Amino acid sequence: MKVLLTITLAFIAIPDAAAETKRPNVVLIITDDQNDYALAESGVQVITPHLDKLKSQSIEFERAYCASPVCGPSRASLFSGLYPHNTGAYFNGADPWLYSEALGKAESLPELFRRGDYHTWGMGKLYHAKLPEDREKKQWDNKASAQGGFAPFPEEEFQFSGKFFSVKEWDGPDTDFPDVKSANAAVEFLNSYQGEKPFFLCYGLWRPHNPWTAPRRFFDLYDPQEIAFPPPGYRADDMADVPPDGKTLAAIFGNRWNKFGDTNKEAWRRIMHGYLACTSFADWNVGRVMQALDESGHGENTIILFTADNGYHLGEKHHYGKSTLWEKSARVPLFARLPGNHNSGTVCKSPVGLIDLFPTLQMTCSLPATPQTLDGHDLSPLLENPKASWPHPAITTYGEGRFSLRTTDWRYIRYPDGREELFDHRNDPNEFTNLADDPATEKLRADFIKKLPEKWHPSLGGRKG
């Protein structure tokens, strides 16, 4: 079946039968901390015209989830095809590519593309972790650069709690932002590339991650009084049925919520405004790269994958940030635009993970086998038919023993002490009502427990949050 689907996609990629063996280019775009607000049913209006256009040309994976709800581990999983519980990369700040034996033996996605005779090009926020010097050189044919990181930061008067937790309209030049510099470089590459090899381009954005600084015109898109506020996923008594470890995760940056949450609604609304402005700013940068791709002539034979490393809470579960096992942290946008706009404008409702992108690209681009056994599943059946049967749940973990599973209808969470959460997404999309103590769900929970990892790799350490 996989062989047949790969052949099918190859024919989709190249209308000319004489060129049917030509492999597609790949453009992978990863934003930072972008939650599901830009999805139609979120209840929060986000102005993202370029992503709306891309979505209309793509298969939208409506239920897409990260393997870890924080930047570095999520990216380590995406680029290695391995779950955190198999590498020990659970937390930010651990530099897993330096210290994980499993990642040391694994071939990264850019390395595989390069070995598979692709020209690789990367820019912006990519791994969010240090790589061994010899491996850094193996990733990209260009000199990849983060272009400066999270800056620009606002002055102290615009800071709620330190320079990261801050909001400001930016009146300096657009090029003060690393995302603009990276987009400029991507546009230049797309306009100039004439190589015989297909290319793998990865553009990593730093926004909408805080600090919530963006050019003023993106703040001006929103009337703060018209923002959906509080967000639909907030409820004042929402933490009443949350197990202790869930409350611990929600309180990782607890001081922020306690000072600038529902007791300070002016600050909360301002933070929402900043996040939405930064999301629209990210959208604008993505649009520039998409326009350059299509105007360059490369677009016809290019697979575009747009996603984010993890989601983000803006008051849902009384939390600012990610680092939880709930929907708002784990869910990410995922659009796949295929050559010839195959299945454009369709929606896939099956639960999928970013872990699945590695084997999907390996199969679709006819890349060689990797030394590591990949944990994900090839999405080719869903690319061919977004309504195809899909038996696999999406799995998210955050630390040893912290496990979350998402099926089409349910989210199941289990903490190290054995406490559980269970949410019926057919009736409770905001995860307000924990059904884990309902005797009627006992068999369902027993089935979900069978999906727990048999072994948990010891943590490599790092910081919480």
Here the tokens at position 192 are 């100039």
Q: Which residue has the tokens 């939650």?
A: 35
Q: Residue 199's closest CA among 297, 119, 122, 141?
A: 119
Q: Which listed residue (66, 71, 278, 348) is catalytic?
A: 71
CA 288 – CA 425 distance, rounded (Å): 36
- Give yes or no for residue 3 having a pLDDT over 50: no
- Give yes or no for residue 15 having a pLDDT over 50: no
Here the tokens at position 253 are 């940056």
Check if the beta carbon of residue 311 is closer than 8 Å to that of residue 331: yes
Quick one: how far is CA 342 from the chain centroid? 23
With bands split at pLDDT 50, 70 and 90, how would you rate the model's confidence at 147? confident
Q: Residue 202's closest CA among 285, 140, 135, 273?
A: 140
With bands split at pLDDT 50, 70 and 90, how would you rate the model's confidence at 164? very high
What is the pLDDT averaged over residues 235-239?
98
Cis peptide preceding 15, ω within 30 of 0 = no
CA 184 – CA 203 distance, rounded (Å): 11
Helix (H, G, I), strand (E, B) or coil at 25: strand
- Give yes or no for residue 83 having a pLDDT over 90: yes
On average, the pLDDT of the chain sits at 94
CA 232 – CA 206 distance, rounded (Å): 26
Dihedral (Cα; 457, 463, 464, 465), 10-degree rounding:
-120
Q: Which residues contact 60 (CB under 8 A, 6 or more apart)?
A: 334, 335, 346, 347, 348
Tell the burial category of 21 from Cβ atoms under 10 Å away from its Cβ (0-12, 13-18, 19+): exposed
CA 296 – CA 299 distance, rounded (Å): 7
71 is catalytic: yes
CA 299 – CA 297 distance, rounded (Å): 6
CA 79 – CA 200 distance, rounded (Å): 13
What is the pLDDT averaged over residues 176-188?
98
With bands split at pLDDT 50, 70 and 90, how would you rate the model's confidence at 103? very high
Q: Residue 161's closest CA among 311, 270, 306?
A: 270
Model pLDDT, residue 40: 73
Model pLDDT, residue 98: 97
With bands split at pLDDT 50, 70 and 90, how would you rate the model's confidence at 21? low
Q: Which listed residue (128, 273, 313, 457) is catalytic?
A: 128
128 is catalytic: yes
Task: Give the C-alpha distances (Å, rounded to integers) separating 219 from 51, 78, 104, 180, 249.
Answer: 18, 32, 43, 17, 30
Q: Which residue has the tokens 């059904």?
A: 435
* SS3 per-residue string spanning 374-397: CCCCCCHHHHHCCCCCCCCCEEEE
Task: Give the C-alpha distances (Å, rounded to integers) separating 71 from 90, 230, 321.
Answer: 10, 26, 11
CA 87 – CA 205 distance, rounded (Å): 25
Here the tokens at position 274 are 């900043």
Q: Specify the DSSP class assigned to residue 61.
A: E
CA 132 – CA 256 distance, rounded (Å): 35
CA 394 – CA 451 distance, rounded (Å): 10
Model pLDDT, residue 18: 36
Which pTM does this prediction carry? Answer: 0.95
Here the tokens at position 419 are 């406490």
Model pLDDT, residue 66: 98
Single-letter amino acid, residue 379: L
